[in-house]
Amino acid sequence: MTEAETRPNVARMYDYYLGGCHNFAADRAAAEEILKIFPDTGVAAQTNRAFLRRAVRWAAEQGIRQFLDVGAGLPTQGNVHEVVRAVAPDARVVYVDHDEVAVAYARRLLPTDGRTVVLRGDLRRPDEMLADPLLRATVDLAEPVALLLVAVLHFVPDADDPWAAVARLRDATAPGSVLAVSHLTLDGAPPLPARAGTAVYRRSSAPLMPRTHAEVARFLDGYDVVEPGLVRLADWRPDGEPRAAVSHGYGGVGVRR
């Protein structure tokens, strides 16, 4: 087995929480450890996906026709291009992930229609990502873009300055562009299980960096945050989908000034 298969991988652990089948034994074992500590992690992952779908639909309804989904993960039910196309069949969607396994699955499973593209890129290197010829061929940065940073920023440690990376992406997009952010928090969580949970992720492909409300809000600097603001994921414009009893994340959407 390769190291990629023996080391728990955050994209495939998340796939396991969502009930997917693109995961290996090491991913399942680590995910089961998390589920012992936080038994509602599966519901929380579904809550995050539901936030993503609502935020994407909202952006499409505002007229956005280009979507840049960074840290897109493995294809699952209700992918971004499916939600977008229900509103705008001609919209373009660029999926980006730094994980080669996630990118390989996405390339295999997603449509190759020229309007849905998958590329390997790293949020920590925004200029490299924005210079990718496939991205440039698909997205016109002079027109508004919806940038989706959903359940990805908590894998970027403070030392890599994720705020600077997000600001760089913001500055590269046109006014009227949208940013949708979701982010793990341990605000209000009991400290002991929180420590045990982050310890499991330290052994995985990416350490986990839960952040406070104020820290997450800084990602939306330079954006007019739409109602209801940066809130628990289940409280962001709920549309009647099943709600998690506990949401471990904040979600918010802003429009670039």
Using CB under 6 A, list all residues that contact ligand SAM. Answer: 10-11, 14, 48-49, 52, 70-73, 97-99, 102, 122-124, 150-152, 155-156, 206
- We find the least distance from the C-beta atom of residue 17 to ligand SAM, in angstroms, to be 9
Cα of 172 vs its chain's centroid, Å: 19
**Spatial separation of the C-alpha atoms in residues 201 and 95, rounded to whole Å:** 24
- Residues 208, 228: Cα–Cα separation, whole Å: 26
For ligand SAM, the closer CB: 48 or 66? 48
CA distance 3 to 180: 33
CB of 144 or CB of 251, closer to ligand SAM: 251
CB of 149 to ligand SAM, least distance (A): 8
* Residue facing ligand SAM at closest CB distance: 73
Question: Hey, how many other C-beta atoms are within 10 angstroms of the C-beta on 231?
Answer: 16
Residue 26 phi, psi dihedral angles, 5° rounding: -65, -35
Residue type for position 87: V
CB of 54 to ligand SAM, least distance (A): 12
Nearer to ligand SAM, 71 or 254 (CB): 71
Shortest spacing between CB 157 and ligand SAM, in angstroms: 10
Closest contact distance (angstroms) between CB of 123 and ligand SAM is: 4
Q: Which is nearer to ligand SAM, 199 or 224 (CB)?
A: 199
Gap between the Cα atoms of 34 and 26, Å rounded: 13
Identity of the residue, 122 or 257, whose beta carbon is nearer to ligand SAM in the bound complex: 122
Measured CA angle at 226 (ends 64, 40), to 5 deg: 95
